[in-house]
Amino acid sequence: EAGVAQSPRYKIIEKRQSVAFWCNPISGHATLYWYQQILGQGPKLLIQFQNNGVVDDSQLPKDRFSAERLKGVDSTLKIQPAKLEDSAVYLCASSPRRGGPLHFGNGTRLTVT
């Protein structure tokens, strides 16, 4: 089975610019997650979708971050405007249902200068 696809792999932007990341989960997986992993830390959940509805976005900085999952398949995560502290790896993961092992993509490494 094809894994979770993410793009781009790397992105370098200046602070106050905007950026968008894309994720294509494993086919048939209803649940999709975006995690932020800052160097030296564990992944932090930003948002969790069940099909195209939001289950949890309590840790998403909504003044600058937004995410959508149209049609319950692909998802995009946007940051506008970016801050230096947004430098991190953004991991997308999916699972067939809520809970259980997640399948992670290779992530997008964002550097904000």
Partner 1 sequence: EDKVVQSPLSLVVHEGDTVTLNCSYEVTNFRSLLWYKQEKKAPTFLFMLTSSGIEKKSGRLSSILDKKELSSILNITATQTGDSAIYLCAVEAGTASKLTFGTGTRLQVTL
Q: Does 25 bind partner 1 (CB under 8 A)?
A: no
Q: Does 98 bind partner 1 (CB under 8 A)?
A: yes
Please list, in sequence order, all residues whose beta carbon lies within 8 angstroms of the beta carbon of residue 105, skipping any fewer than 6 positions away: 3, 4, 5, 6, 23, 91, 92, 93
Q: Does 41 bind partner 1 (CB under 8 A)?
A: yes
Q: Does 27 bind partner 1 (CB under 8 A)?
A: no
Cα separation of 67 and 53, whole Å?
Answer: 11
> Of 39, 53, 63, 99, which lies in the binding site for partner 1, with binding defined by CB under 8 A?
99
> Of 42, 53, 63, 70, which lies in the binding site for partner 1, with binding defined by CB under 8 A?
42
Scanning 12-20, 38-46, 65-73, 77-85 for contacts with partner 1 by CB under 8 A, the matching segment is: 38-46
Decide if 98 contacts 50 (C-beta within 8 A): yes
Segment 55 to 84, residues that bind partner 1, using CB under 8 A? 55-56
